[in-house]
Chains A and B, each alone.
Chain A
C-alpha cells in the first residue's frame, strides 16, 4: 500500500515543521491511555483514598447535622442580625458558585479557542463544577427559612394562583443556577458517553458491563455517530459558554441592583466573572496537583505544560481582579459620594480591615509570583499559592457582603457581625462535601477524557506491521451473516479504506473508531450533521415558552379574555407592580429568557445526537465480533460492510478489504 504510507509520511514531515510541545508525553499509545485512566477506577482503592474519603466524609457529615439543628431550632442560630441579613451563608454560596465556573470555561470556551490542552483537565474540571454548584445550592436552599416551601419559587400552576416575580434578581438567580447545574451535568455526562463505553468494554463482570452499557446508551464508536457527537458537543459547548458569563453576572446582580454603597455598582458583573474564573482555576490546580502526585502515570497527560498554562490564567485573572479592586477605590473617591467613600474607607481601616488585606494580598499580590516560570511549573509552589488564592477569594466575598452590610446609611443600626458555630459548621461541612464527592468521582468515572486525549496522541510513525502469522479465513457462520468486518492499523488507513469502500459503491457499511477522525466526513461523504438545527429549534422553543411564561404571568388579563374564560386559566394572569417596573419589562426578563433558551437548546442537542445516532441501542450485531467489541473503544479501527448491501458478496468483499490492508477479516454472525 504505497499510497497510504506516502500520505502518512507527508503528514509527519508537516508535523515536524510545525512542532508544538506535546500534550501527551513519552509517545504514549491509545491502549496505554485507556489503561492509565481506567485503572484509577478499576484497581482497588489505595490506602490514602480510604483515609481521605473517611476524613472528608466525616466533615461532610456536619452538613446534615447542622441543617437538622437549625431547621428544628430556627434561623436565629445563624449569626444574622439587623443590618447584616446576608452573612456567611450567602458568602459561601457566592464562593462556591464562582469556583464552579472554571469547569464550564475549560470545557466550552477553551474548546472554541482551540486550547487543546483542555482535553486532559476538562473532565475533572466539569466534575468540580457540578460538585461546587451542589455545595453552593445548599446555602440559598436553607437560607429561605421555610425550606419546605421551596416549591413556591418554581413556576407551576397551583391552587394559590400566585406567580413568581420574574423581574427579581433572586429569581434570575434561581433560573441561572438551576440551568447551570442541569446543563453542566448534561454536558459532563455527554462527554462521558464514549468513556463509559471504554469502561464497559474493559469490565469483566457481566452486571458491570450491562450497567455501563445502559449508562452509555449503547455507544458503538460508529463514525456516523461520532459525526453527530462532535457537532453536538460543539453546539452544547456554544450554549454553555454563554452560561459561564450569565451565571456570574446574575449572581452579581443580587448585589448590584440594591442601593447599598459598595454593592450598587456596574463593575460587579465583569468583576464577578473574572473572580469566578480566577477562583475556579485555583480550585482546579488545588485538585490536579495532588491527583498527579497520587497517580504518577497521569503526569504524562497532565504535564508541566498544563500547570504552566493554568498558572498563566491565574496570573492574568488575578491581575484583572486587582484592576477592578483599584477601579472600585478610584470610583469611590472620584464619585464623591460620601457613603460610597466611607464604605471603602471602612473596608480598609474599619474593624474588619484584615479581610481587605487578606483579599488584596492573596488575590492580587500573590499571583504575581507566576511571572516566574519556576513558580508556574513547580507543583507544590503552585498548589500552595492556589489554596491561598481560594482563601483570599473567600475573604473578598466577606469584604463585599458582610463589611458592606455592617455599615448601612444609619449609624445607629451599625453592628459588628460574627458568624456562629452553625455558620462555620455549614461552611466546613460544604468543603468536606466537595472533596468527598470529588474523591468518589475519581473511583467511579474516568477522571480524564479518554476519547479526547486520544486525538492528541502523536500518531505512530508508520502503520503497525501486519501480524506475520498467516490468517486463517474465518468460516461462514451457519445462521447467516450480518456482514464482513476488517481491522485497520491506524486512523489514516481507516480513512483511506472508507474512501475506497464508498467509491466502490457500497452503501450499507460503517467504520468504528475510539475517537473522531478528521476528514472522515469527506471520506464517507456524509452530509453535514443536522444536530445544530435541532439545537437552534430547541433554543427557540425554550425562548418562546419563556416569553409566554413571563408575559402571561406578569401582565393584566386582557379584556378580550374576560368573557371567554373562567376558572383556572384566569389564575395565569398575575399582574403585580413591583419595584416600579412596568408589567412587561423586557430588560428584567432577559435573564430568565436566556436561561430557558440555553436549557432547551442543550437538552435538544443531547437528544438530537442520541436519536440521530440511532441510540439507545441495547443490541447491535457488530458486537457479535469479539475483536470489535473489545477494542473499538480502545485502540482498534474497524470497518464493517453489511451483508444486506446490494454490492456485497462474501468472497469479493473479502478480497476487496484484504486488498485495502484490512486484517483479522471476520464474517460477523447475524
Chain B
C-alpha cells in the first residue's frame, strides 16, 4: 500500500477539527441572530402612502398619542386615525401640500387611507392595548421613541420571550400611570427604574400572568 497520504496530512485532522468548530460556532451565532425576530422584525420601516412625521407632530406640535390613536385606553385595538381626524387640521394647515395628496383623495372619495401596518402579532396571540396602557406600561416600552421618529419603524422583536421579559419582571418597565403617554419621561430625581418599578408593582398590585392561556386563549 505504502502511504496513502503524505506526512503533511498528519496535521490535517487537527485543522479540520478547528475548522468545524469555527463553522459550528458561526452557524449557531448566525442562526441565533439572523433567524430570530431580533433581526427579522426589528427595523422594518415600510413606505407609507403619506410620509407622516411623528416627531413633527408629537415633539414639534405637542400632540398627545391619544389625539390620533384615540381608543387605545378603551379598546384592545389601538386605532389608526381616520381621515376626518387628520382633516380637522389639514383642511386649513398645509391644505395644498403635495405630500397630502392621498389624504385629500380619501377625503373626497370616502375610501380610507391604505396605511401599511408595521406591528402585527400572530393570530394565536391575544393582545389588549387598554390592559397595558392602563397598568403603567408606556407606549415607549413596545414602540420605542416614536416621538422622535420621522418614519415609524419596528422597534422591538415582539417575540414571546420578549413579552415574558416584562410579564415576569414588570418592575423594570412600569411607570406612573400619568406618564404612560409621555414618551421621553424618565424617573425624576435620579431614582432607578427598578426601585420605582418595585414600588409601583406593590402599590398598584401589578401581577401580569405568565400562564399560557393569558395570551393563547
Contacts and interface: CB of A to CB of B under 8 A. Distances in A.
Interface string B156-177: 0101111011001100100000
Contact of B159 (A159, A200, A562, A618): A159
A213 B5 contact: yes
A161 B161 contact: yes
A159 B157 contact: yes
A159 B7 contact: no
B7 A629 contact: no
Interface stretch (B8-16, B65-73, B74-82, B89-97): B8-16
A200 B165 CA distance: 57
Interface residues of A, number: 31
A159 B36 contact: yes
Contacts of A620: 3
B10 A619 contact: yes
Nearest to A616: B13
Interface string B178-217: 0000000000000000100000000000000000100000
Contacts of B12: 618
A619 B3 CA distance: 6
A209 B1 CA distance: 9
B201 to A, nearest CB: 12
B4 interface: yes
Contacts of B144: none
B168 A618 contact: no
B6 A619 contact: yes
B61 interface: no
Given A566-B169, A618-B10, A629 B161 contact: no
B102 to A, nearest CB: 36
A567 B5 CA distance: 51
A570 B169 contact: yes
B4 A210 contact: yes
B5 A566 contact: no
A45 B12 CA distance: 35
Given A563-B194, A618-B12, A619-B10, A161 B4 contact: no
B3 A571 contact: no
Contacts of B212: 576
A566 B165 CA distance: 7
A294 to B, nearest CB: 31
A624 interface: yes
A159 B37 contact: yes
Contacts of B168: 557, 570
Contacts of A209: 1, 4
B55 to A, nearest CB: 29
A44 interface: no
Give the secondary structure class of B's interface: helix
B5 A619 contact: yes
Given A566-B169, A570-B168, A618-B9, A159 B162 contact: yes
A201 interface: yes
B154 interface: no
Contacts of B162: 159
Contacts of A624: 2-3
Contact of B164 (A161, A576, A619, A621): A161
A571 B161 CA distance: 6
Contacts of A475: none
Interface string A69-81: 0000000000000
A348 interface: no
Given A562-B169, A618-B9, A159 B3 contact: no
Nearest to A562: B169
B164 A571 contact: yes
Contacts of A562: 169
A523 B5 CA distance: 32
A158 interface: yes
A623 B3 contact: yes
A568 interface: yes
Contacts of A568: 161
A630 interface: yes
Interface string A529-561: 000000000000000000000000000010000
B1 A623 contact: yes
A514 B104 CA distance: 90
B129 interface: no
A619 B161 contact: no
Contact of B10 (A566, A570, A617): A617
A160 interface: yes
B38 interface: yes
A158 B168 CA distance: 17
Contacts of A567: 165
A576 B37 CA distance: 25
Contacts of A616: 13
Interface string A612-655: 00001111110110100110000000000000000000000000
A162 interface: yes
A568 B7 CA distance: 48
A571 B163 CA distance: 10
A492 to B, nearest CB: 27
Contacts of A576: 212
Interface in A178-201: 200-201
A370 to B, nearest CB: 47
Contacts of A623: 1-4
Contacts of B13: 616, 618
A158 B157 CA distance: 13
29 contacts: A158-B161, A159-B36, A159-B37, A159-B38, A159-B157, A159-B160, A159-B161, A160-B160, A161-B159, A162-B160, A200-B1, A201-B1, A209-B1, A210-B4, A213-B5, A570-B165, A571-B161, A571-B165, A617-B10, A618-B4, A618-B10, A618-B13, A619-B4, A619-B10, A620-B3, A623-B1, A623-B3, A626-B2, A629-B2
Interface of B: 1-10, 12-13, 36-38, 157, 159-162, 164-165, 168-169, 172, 194, 212
Given A210-B4, A618-B5, A624-B3, 10 more contacts: A159-B38, A160-B159, A160-B161, A201-B1, A210-B5, A568-B161, A570-B165, A570-B169, A618-B10, A619-B9
Top-10 shortest CB links A-B: A161-B161, A629-B1, A159-B159, A618-B9, A618-B5, A160-B160, A571-B161, A159-B36, A616-B13, A623-B3
